[in-house]
A and B are shown apart, each in its own frame.
Chain A
Amino acid sequence: MIEIEDGVASISLPKPPYTVESLRMGALLLSGRAEAFLDEKRGAFRVELKPAVPMTELELRALAGEFLNECLSCLYRQELIKSAPEVPQALLAQVLEKGFPALPPDPLEQLEPQVRVDRETETEELLKAARKLLP
């Protein structure tokens, strides 16, 4: 399934089970080390891996193996996520949905503008004194 020619590894992969998403994850793993080119034909993908620096055939095969490993890991993970208990996914969705609510502004500062002014003045003085301690 892996062909090596002119310093490039070409891999043919059947469409199910491989998905564009799994190939993307594989390509991400190689970022910086190789460029990945994708061609899609009916029923199959063809991926070409071009290393950033020339590689021996053995190194290139290892690189392609790493790419395939990551694609398979991604496919397995997707299967698992589909069949995983829904509760953890739902909790994560809820946490992300809720976002990370920040603390609302201090009501004392809102009600009493002088409090904010005093605090800003105090902070400014601290900053001024700290500047003197820096080289």
Chain B
Amino acid sequence: MSRLTEIDKPPKPALKSVGPHQFRRIGKFVLACDDSGRFAFLSQAEYLGYLKGLKRGTALRDKLAIAGLMSDSFDFDEAARFAAEKSLLSWPGPSTHLLKLGAAGRAMSLATAKRAVDFAFSAPARDVGLELIPERLESEWGLVWFIVQYARRQGEWRKKAVSLTVRVEAALPARMKEFLDGHRVDLRAVVEIAGPPSVAVPGARRVLARVNAPAEAASGWIDALSEAGVESILLEPSGSAKDFLAFYAAALDRMLQLQGRRDMREERGLGFLSGRRWLLPGHDVLSELCYAPDGSIYSGELAASLDEEARDLLKLGELGSRRFDDLAKGPAVRAVLAASLSENQPMCSQCVYRPFCAVAPSENLRSQGTLWGRHPSSERCALHMALLDILFSRLARTESAEALRQWLS
């Protein structure tokens, strides 16, 4: 059964006025959205009236014209501006460079670490984000120490804004914390959300949370993390999808309630709402590149952790021999970008969320053995659709819509 929704007995659309759009029923609303992601919420009766054709001068018609959904009063300039902002033409290149400092007991060499930083700085993006992923921080501390200082100097030399993050699973010894604070390095704590709320890594402003807890636990966790200063969280399922979605909805509601007092944003939700696919966390090439300890460049963190055969498909080259401007010439980058265009995906092309969503090709490869994926049976697509339903149902409510819009400001 398709996850796309239907409307009972829709009238034949009045093509003179009804603009090209997709729709979806969410609760008692119908979400109508154009190709570039401009949207409006309507009641079912309003939507049927829209399809039949609306008289000029009605408030609904004006609202839909502003959302670009009326073809007879279409603002082409505004539509072009909006579409260009969200299209690949505005893509600044991958903005997060993930350095895996160790894997399977093998640490990156200092020479490779330097090459990885040089490679990240040769990218044209104005901002460079480096996230260091140690396997055993204590023995890889020299790498962190070097990368942080070298990247800061490179930022000054090349006049780029640099954001540095170290991923950690436990509280840091004081000397490390002091060094990282002194060099304005953020901590990203990996947290298992399972038992009662706890803050394992004091001082972390970002959290990668693997959720295996019921919805009732959500408020307590969000309160505890936001009180500890966490500003940004990425929620990932680690148990059942149903429980995760209930947790996500409750956590989102709590974040929106706290907005203005203790702001916290969910990174995937923010990526969806931005309509810029390169802001979706973990999206191969569009949002990230990953460097393995042996100097291999992969399309993303997940790609670097797949089995050897799949990994080879998403390997983009080697640090030292591959230059940044050669990347687009490689078949892997071309395949990844083509597979990321949801316009080319049969189910996405009919889905109202197409302007906001894309499943990372490495995720398709992991779960379905193909870069393109088969979305009708894809668990990731099902998850994205459910998450987008949750987000858009909050956008349909005035109180939460304002708080969500502030996420984007």
Chain A interface (Cβ within 8 Å of chain B)? 25, 28-32, 69-70, 73-74, 76-77, 80-81, 84-85, 87-89, 91-92, 94-96, 98-103, 106, 108, 119, 122-123, 126-127, 129-135
Contact = CB atoms under 8 A, between A and B. Distances in A.
23 contacts: A31-B309, A32-B309, A73-B346, A73-B372, A73-B374, A77-B344, A80-B344, A84-B344, A84-B349, A85-B343, A88-B341, A92-B88, A92-B338, A95-B328, A95-B337, A99-B325, A102-B324, A123-B153, A126-B150, A126-B153, A127-B146, A130-B146, A131-B110
A41 B54 CA distance: 57
Interface string B309-339: 1000000000000011111110000100110
Given A85-B35, A103-B123, A133 B328 contact: no
B34 to A, nearest CB: 12
B343 A119 contact: no
Contacts of A100: 93, 123-124, 324-325, 327-328
Contacts of A130: 110, 142-143, 145-146
Nearest to A76: B346
B157 interface: yes
Nearest to A127: B110
Interface string B134-163: 000001111101100110010001100000
A119 B157 CA distance: 9
Q: Give 9 nearest A-B pairs by CB, closest first.
A: A133-B142, A130-B146, A134-B142, A102-B325, A102-B324, A99-B328, A88-B343, A102-B122, A130-B142
A6 to B, nearest CB: 25
A129 B323 CA distance: 28
- Chain B interface bracket (under 10, 10 to 19, 20 to 34, 35 or more): 35 or more
B285 to A, nearest CB: 9
Contacts of B122: 102-103
Contacts of A84: 343-344, 349
Interface string B109-125: 01000100000011110
B114 A69 contact: no
A92 B91 contact: no
Given A73-B346, A76-B346, A96-B337, A102 B114 contact: no
A77 to B, nearest CB: 6
A86 to B, nearest CB: 10
Nearest to B323: A102
B296 interface: no
Contacts, number: 118
B89 interface: yes
Given A101-B124, A131-B142, A134-B142, A95 B91 contact: yes
B259 interface: no
A74 B346 CA distance: 10
Contacts of A70: 370, 374
Nearest to B371: A28
A31 B146 CA distance: 41
B345 interface: yes
A89 B89 CA distance: 12
Contacts of B349: 80, 84
B369 interface: yes
Contacts of B327: 99-100
A70 B83 CA distance: 32
Nearest to A130: B146
B380 to A, nearest CB: 15
B153 A122 contact: yes
Contacts of B107: 134
Nearest to B348: A80
A102 B169 CA distance: 34
B44 interface: no
Contact of B370 (A25, A92, A96): A25
B123 A133 contact: no
